[in-house]
């Protein structure tokens, strides 16, 4: 019996036990109490916290109304659609009291007391203090109400059974508000609180077990988000140049850093939101992440950029010269501010698999309207699958000291097929 089915069996047994014992997380909804008007200061605080928590990213459909839900979140067990958290009464959380909201964040239950799927990372939000949750509540309840019903979740049996989640929670949910570590500084604690709590960084950056729970022993050891690799932020970070707190702060706040790369894919909305968060908090997050990466051994340096005009054999080099070098070639002395990151230092080229580089090269990076940020054209359509594979292999070999990716072709195929089917 494989690992997954044995874990599943254990979970089912626990579920039966839980149902029989009528143990339930949380209590039924408070009566529909409408909270009074919120003071501006609390709402502003909640706005900051919601930005750290990046609530809008999951709870908004691409091109949809903010916080109105309906965004598909793919899990290994099927697709879950995010809920409408605008204060609309019928289809949103307009009838939720503050207590209901706190229970959702801390206990992972909805207003009716049913378990929420941990795609909503309450295993992290449980760490958030009552005060902060209340501020977020104030913020959420003052958004524009939108009437919108999310599509029904499409989860495979038996994951579609909410009661089963009680078992999952028993096994994997460590409930409780963050407890400061008195041996550490205030900034460290703030950083740990934000990273482990609202920031829910581990939700993407930590590997998960067969039942979809984070492996706590490998906290921030690298994970997944929407077919992108979320880089390791612990000792196994593959960055050839070690992160400094200043670089991490820049990366998170402005969306790029010259020694590591550009926030792309699912990380873009995160850095977009963090750009509006107060500096102190972002610095705290950066400081904490330096700590989680402190055991990182030195890595081989990135390769120097090939000299301009030097005859480089091979198709990959030729493609690079014609397609990439105008931005990614050796930076012109006259344009020191073009900010393209030296490719050898980028997280995507140093990642354990090729998926991130594939996404970036295929799709490009387009800033939102009016935003200053990386602008890179996508090369799907211009380059064939073979040519893309050749280019990617070249980039990995010529700019990094990492071993070649064995998986370019299948990942490429998968990503291109996925786009076709969208």
Which residues form the interface with other proteins (CB under 8 A)?
A: 40, 43-44, 47, 56, 66-67, 139, 142-144, 276, 308-309, 315, 317-319, 321-327, 329-330, 332-339, 364, 366-377, 379-384, 387
- 76: part of which helix (H) or strand (E)? none
Q: Which is nearer to other proteins, 165 or 270 (CB)?
A: 270
Using CB atoms within 10 A of its CB, is residue 378 exposed (0-12), middle (13-18) or buried (19+)?
A: middle
Looking at the Cβ atoms of 26 and 69, the one nearer to other proteins is 69
When the beta carbons of 129 and 387 are compared against other proteins, the nearer one is: 387
Integer Cα distance of 284 and 305 in angstroms? 34
CB of 332 to other proteins, least distance (A): 4
CB of 357 to other proteins, least distance (A): 17
**Which has the closest alpha carbon to 116: 67, 82, 66?**
82
Q: 182 or 335: whose CB is closer to other proteins? A: 335
Q: What are phi and psi of 79, to 5 degrees?
A: -110, 135
What is the bridge-based pairing of β-strands 154-155 and 78-81? antiparallel
Shortest distance in whole angstroms from residue 378 CB to other proteins: 9
Give the phi and the psi of residue 362 in degrees, each rounded to 5.
-70, -45
CB of 321 to other proteins, least distance (A): 4
- Quick one: 27 or 417, whose CB is closer to other proteins? 417
CA 135, distance to chain mean position in Å, is 23
Report the nearest approach of other proteins to the CB of residue 373 (Å): 7
Supply φ then ψ for residue 245, to 5 degrees: -60, -40
For residue 74, the minimal CB distance to other proteins (Å) is 23
36 vs 313, beta carbon nearer other proteins = 313
Helix, strand, coil percentages for the chain (3-state, nearest 5): 40, 5, 50
Name which of 46, 47, 79, 81 is nearest 62 in CA terms. 81
């Amino acid at each position: 019996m494989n690992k997954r089915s044995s874990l599943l069996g254990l979970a089912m047994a626990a579920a039966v036990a839980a149902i029989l014992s009528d143990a339930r997380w949380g209590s039924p909804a408070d009566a529909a109490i409408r909270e009074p008007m919120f003071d501006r200061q609390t709402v502003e605080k909640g706005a900051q916290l919601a930005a750290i928590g990046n609530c809008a990213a999951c709870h908004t459909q691409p091109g949809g109304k903010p916080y109105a839900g309906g965004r598909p979140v793919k899990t290994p067990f099927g697709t879950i659609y995010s809920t409408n958290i605008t204060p609309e009464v019928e289809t949103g959380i307009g009838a939720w009291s503050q207590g209901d909201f706190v229970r959702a964040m801390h206990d992972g239950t909805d207003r009716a007391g049913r378990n929420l799927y941990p795609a909503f990372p309450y295993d992290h939000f449980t760490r958030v203090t009552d005060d902060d949750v209340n501020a977020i509540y104030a913020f959420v309840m003052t958004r524009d109400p939108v009437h919108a019903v999310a599509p029904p979740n499409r989860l495979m049996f038996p994951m579609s059974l909410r009661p089963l989640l009680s078992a999952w929670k028993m096994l994997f949910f460590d409930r409780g508000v963050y407890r400061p570590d008195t041996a550490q500084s205030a900034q460290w604690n703030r950083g740990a609180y934000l990273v482990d709590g609202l920031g829910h960084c581990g939700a993407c950056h930590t590997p998960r077990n067969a039942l979809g729970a984070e492996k706590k022993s490998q906290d921030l050891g690298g994970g997944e988000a929407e077919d992108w690799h979320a880089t390791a932020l612990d000792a196994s970070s593959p960055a050839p140049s070690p992160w400094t707190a200043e670089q991490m702060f820049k990366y998170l706040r402005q969306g790029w850093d010259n020694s590591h790369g550009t926030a792309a894919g699912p990380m873009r909305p995160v850095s977009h939101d963090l750009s509006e968060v107060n500096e102190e908090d972002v610095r705290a997050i950066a400081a904490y992440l330096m700590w989680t990466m402190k055991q990182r051994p030195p890595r081989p340096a990135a390769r120097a950029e090939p000299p301009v005009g030097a005859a480089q054999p091979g198709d990959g080099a030729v493609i690079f010269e014609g397609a990439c070098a105008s931005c990614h070639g050796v930076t012109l002395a006259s344009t020191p501010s073009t900010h393209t990151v030296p490719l050898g230092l980028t997280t995507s080229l140093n990642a354990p698999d090729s998926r991130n580089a594939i996404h970036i090269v295929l799709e490009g990076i387009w800033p939102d309207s009016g935003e200053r940020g990386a602008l890179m054209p996508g090369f799907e359509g211009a380059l064939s699958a073979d040519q893309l594979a050749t280019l990617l292999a070249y980039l990995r070999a010529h700019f990094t000291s990492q071993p070649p990716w064995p998986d370019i072709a299948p990942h490429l195929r998968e990503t291109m097929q996925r786009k076709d089917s969208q």
